[in-house]
Amino acid sequence: MGYQKRTWYPGVIYHITSRGNRKEIIYKDIRDRYVFLNIIENSLEYYKGEFSIICYCIMSNHFHLMIETKDTHIKHFMSRINSQYAKYFNQKYEYVGYLFQGRYYSQIIDSDLELMEVSRYIHLNPVRANIVKKPEHYIWSSYSMYLGIGKKRIVQTEKLIDCFNTMKNYKMFVEEVGNG
């Protein structure tokens, strides 16, 4: 039985999640997470302007990306980052077989409200998992970049900040749920 084709059209924004096979850990140390971010950065460069990362969060056994597409289907970007990371991981740890559990999950974001809610969900992931008390304390997400306290890397913050007018308003929006 084949996979159903993903809905895609130019300019769509996706919430993407990919999880380790059998929910196993896919980032065993700090270097693994840096390698993954470098693969994303290199893939953004490879596709030169075709994709923008709005936000992300890297957990131990899965990751979340919010990605805006231009004229290239998301499957090309995801295939590149997942296959390159799986190759790196399998070589490093001398594993064989699938690193990721099936196909990556994708959800189309089709309103500003959904964009805001999903970004909050992504940035609060480590808080809800009881890894940190505040989302800005988790260094493997883009949240600190939205607050202006983290080095801006791979993320284009403008689209989300435009929904809130200021970073301060975004922080209040995220943390009203995070502290409740």
With respect to residue 1, please indicate whether it lies within any of the assigned structural domains: no
Q: Which domain holds residue 146?
A: 13-178
What is the count of structural domains for the chain? 1
- The pTM assigned to this predicted structure is 0.92
pLDDT at 85: 97
How much is the pLDDT for 180?
44
**Residue 8 resides in a domain:** no
**Would you state the structure tokens that stand for residue 11, as one six-digit string?**
């300019």
Cα separation, 111 vs 24, whole angstroms: 33
Confidence (pLDDT) at 9:
81
Q: Is residue 170 part of a domain?
A: yes
Tokens 């306290």 appear where?
149
Do the domain assignments include residue 31?
yes
Specify the range with the lowest mean pLDDT, choosing from 8-12, 66-70, 119-123, 124-128: 8-12
Supply 36's token pair.
Answer: 């993954």
Residue 90 falls within a domain, yes or no?
yes
Amino acid at position 42, single letter: N
Average pLDDT, the chain: 92
CATH code where residue 128 lies: 3.30.70.1290
Average pLDDT of the residues in 1-6? 63
Please compute the mean of the pLDDT values over residues 83-111 and round it to a whole number: 94
Place of tokens 């990362």: 53
Asked if residue 179 has pLDDT above 60, the reply is no
From residue 35, give the alpha-carbon distance in Å to each of 26, 81, 88, 149, 157. Answer: 12, 11, 8, 22, 22
Residue 180: partners with Cβ closer than 8 Å, 6 or more residues away: none
